[in-house]
Structure 1
Amino acid sequence: MSSCLLHPRCMLLAALAFLCVWAIFGPSELRKFSFTLPVPAPAAPGHPLSLPHLLIPNGGVCKGSGSQVFLLILVSTAPEHQEQRDAIRASWGGLREIQGHSVRTLFILGEPDNSHWGNIKEVLKWEAQIEGDIVQAAFTDSYRNLTLKTLSGLAWAARYCPNVHYVLKTDDDVYINVPGLVAELDQRGKALKQHLQQKYPNRGIVQGDRKAKTGEKESEGAHSLYPPVPHLYLGHIHWSVYPSRLKGSRHQVSEMQWPSSRGPFPPYGSGTGYVLSAPVLRLILRAAGGVPLIPVEDVFVGVIAKRVGVAPTHSSRIAGAARYPIDRCCFGRILLSSHHMEPWEIKSAWELVRGSLGNGDMPLCSWLQETLGIVRCWMLSWWYF
């Protein structure tokens, strides 16, 4: 065994493993956060945001949670994708509480086009009544209408879940590591509060609370002036992407929608999964009505974010469009999302990860399994991107 440790090949593998661990869990990725506040949104947007009315509003989801919803997950889905929705319900979408934080998952969809109506309308009504997790808006469900779908979901969150802290927009072929994401967002919120407490030590309690001035514990009637969540737009960020002019492409953006003189799109989070904190959600909805709709929804959100002064934050733990082979440590401890997952793969990944869960904690694995999982994830991410 000792001779193996001294072998150059073993030393090279050990060095590679160390670099992978540092690249993923080093200070630059998880422990350093930016707290630059955004430029205020325009006081009066050019036009109010006009969205299709809701056919299935399902407005009582957050009211019945019993506490403030920490994370609301909006899953973009097609009317006919019941198998995908059932797979999510039977796996990560069934989680309701993580480490004391309330979580809710909703499916956002439009209407089937005329060629696919059949009995889908009745099936959807039945599914919505039974499951209670569907929000449907009155627009034709298509890829080119994803911007309408996303804005409808975000507007629903602002109206029916006004006290939510974070909203995750994702797709129905994505596996979400919900415990990992909740822990990440919770850590960022605590880091922000600590940062503000150090920078503004006398700001925490409203003026007049004597206990705050003497350093005593906060009274129940005291009100914290620190924001509960940071201004956060978190995802797998794409930079310097130019619009596609290819006719017939579902990603086509016309010269009128984005003139060539503007250059590339602003940085934006991959539509497979990005998080908006409540303050950023409100800023985006406030400004969205004054900008022509770009049919590529994640680009549109990035354009609006830049307009209101919110800089996106990149996380290599969010896979973006990449697909990763199922690995317990990779899916349970490292990645926050993985794309291109079939329904059976979502359930298989959940069963594999859940098999090592204990009392709601993160999945546990040996140091060797974790190291191999990190190396596997890191190499695949580096190769893909």
Structure 2
Amino acid sequence: MLEKRRYGAGLPTSPLLAAIFTAVVCLFLWYLSSCPEHLAVQLVAPSYLLLLPGNVTSLPPPYPMHKLAPDDRATLIDVKDFAFQLNNYPCNGSNSLLLLVLVHSAPGNVDKRRTIRETWGRGAHRVLFLLGAVQSPADQAALEEENRTHRDLVQGRFLDSYRNMTYKHVMALKWTAYYCPGARYLLKTDDDVFVNTPALLDFLAQDLSPWGARRLILCEPFSSAYVKRSYRSKWRVSPLEYPGRMYPAYCAGWAVLYSPDVVFLLYREAQRTEYFWIDDVHVTGTLVARANLTQTPLGSLVLSSHQVQALVGSRSNGSDVGVFLFGSPNLSLSDIHRLWQLVQERRAVS
């Protein structure tokens, strides 16, 4: 049987040890109260707020554009001659769009974009594909032809490359702030991810709020990731690029759901913060910390790669699978088509 513990059990009983223990505690408390700001204990930022009829009109607008620099429209972090080479305007000033989806895509990923248009990209939400510049005139002509057909490409004036992903992520925030401020939620995702858009729209309208939210960042967070220094890693970061040993808590960037006020806060921080090329870390980690925001975990709403393969390989119609919003990244085109088929079949029998 466990012994009952008394208050103070385990503390030193010798007068000398007790005095030493008390002195150590006092020194520690003094240190916390007087240590430099960057070492002080940080309070956890408040969690997200759902907008409801009782508070939706009392909150300030999420996009105070007057707080941006006068030359902001032509600037993207340290790019001083920024412009949208291709642009579309699907929001049309709407103040009632529940979900805007901006998909990171590479110029050559034509089949991936086609698959999304044929599957989860269809519906009442708006989907745009984000691209950087290409060097070949023939490649640019192909993108322009694709855009004339589908009217869903947004291309920025920076080279589309692996180390320019942060430009693309911040361009998503910029485009939303300037061209779709009425969207209640923004989903930033990648073109190899499955989004269960019918379930996501239900989740936003019923589990969250159809009027939107504030201070919301919904994602899969990493809380203790070390900076990779190995020359064998494609994620290698030199001490000059990032001097710290560990990154702040950040999101897996393949699916991040933002409320509109967060879009503006992170965009404003990005415009006045030095560029760092790992966009997940920079935008959803460093900038989130600077804006005093926190991430909310998606948890079981994401299917792991093992669960995806078990599902697409089964003969089931998916009715025995719990609610999920996302399938893990690096999916094949056939996996995305099969998941969409299962989602449609499941909704037909529910």
Cα 1:158–1:46 shift into 2, 3 Å: closer
CA distance in 1, matches of 2:152, 2:322: 25
Compute the RMSD of aligned alpha carbons: 3.0
The equivalent residue for 1:147 is: 166
Show the counterpart of 1:275. Answer: 257
Q: Does 1:289 align with 2:271?
A: yes
Are 2:95 and 2:182, in contact at CA under 8 Å, matched by a contact in 1? no
Q: 1:56 to 1:45 in 2, by over 3 A?
A: closer
The change in CA–CA distance for 1:184 and 1:356 in structure 2 (over 3 A counts) is closer
Letter matched to residue 98 of structure 2: F
Structure 2 unaligned segments of length 5 or more: list them: 1-45, 51-61, 77-81, 312-317
Q: CA deviation at 1:320?
A: 8.6
**What amino acid is the match of 1:288?**
A
Q: 2:79 maps to what in 1?
A: none
Please report how far the alpha carbon of residue 240 of structure 1 lies from its aligned counterpart in structure 2 after TM superposition: 0.7
Q: Which has the higher helix share?
A: 1
- 1:86: how far off? 0.3
Mark the CA change 1:84 to 1:146 in structure 2 (over 3 Å): closer, same or farther: same
Deviation at 1:173, TM superposition (A): 0.4
- Correspondent of 2:324 among 334, 340, 343: 334
Indicate how the Cα distance of structure 1 residues 95 and 319 shifts in structure 2: closer, same or farther if over 3 A, else same.
same
User: Which residue number corresponds to residue 378 of structure 1?
Assistant: none
Give the alignment partner of residue 292 of structure 2, picking from 270, 294, 309. 309
The residue number in structure 2 matching 1:108 is: 130
Displacement of 1:128 in angstroms is 0.4
Instruction: Give the Cα–Cα distance (whole angstroms) in 2 for the partners of residues 253 and 167 of structure 1.
Output: 29
Secondary structure of 1:93's counterpart equals coil
Q: 2:335 aligns with which of 345, 361, 377?
A: 345
Partner of 2:18: none
Q: Which digits, 9 at most, give the CA deviation of each residue in 1:240-286, with x for residues without a partner? A: 112122347432323233212xx421111101111111011111111
- Corresponding position: 1:84 with 2:112: yes
Distance 2:195 2:231 in 1: 33
Structure 2 partner of 1:229:
213
| One-letter amino acid of the counterpart of residue 83, structure 2 | H
Structure 1 residue 318 displacement after superposition:
4.8
C-alpha distance in 1, partners of 2:343/2:212?
30
Alignment of 1:194-209 (within 5 A): none
* Structure ID, larger Rg: 2
**SS in structure 1 of the partner of residue 186 of structure 2:** strand
TM-score between the two structures when normalised by the length of structure 1 = 0.65
Residue number in structure 1 paired with 2:230: 246
Tell me the matched-pair count. Answer: 277
Letter in 2 for 1:272: W
Which residue among 77, 81, 84 is the counterpart of 1:54? 84
Task: Please give the secondary structure, in 1, of the residue aligned with 2:99.
Answer: strand
Q: CA deviation at 1:122?
A: 1.3
Kept after mapping to 2: 8 A contact 1:253/1:294:
no
Could you give the per-residue CA deviations for residues 177-218 of structure 1, whole angstroms, max 9, x where no partner exists?
Answer: 11222222234544xx9xxxxxxxxxxxxxxxxxxxxxxxxx
Q: Deviations over 1:106-139 (max 9, x none)?
A: 1001123x4xx37321111011011011101111
What CA distance in whole angstroms lies between the structure 2 residues aligned with 1:336 and 1:347? 14
Compared with structure 1, are the counterparts of its residues 158 and 337 closer, same or farther at alpha carbon in structure 2 (3 Å cutoff)?
A: farther
Map Cα deviations across residues 126-166 of structure 1 (whole Å, 9 max, x no partner): 11011011101111111111100111111111110011111
Aligned-pair identity in percent equals 31
Q: Distance in 1 between matches of 2:248 and 2:304?
A: 18
Give the structure 1 partner of residue 345 of structure 2: 355
- Are 1:299 and 2:281 matched, yes or no? yes
Code of the residue aligned with 1:61 in structure 2: it is P
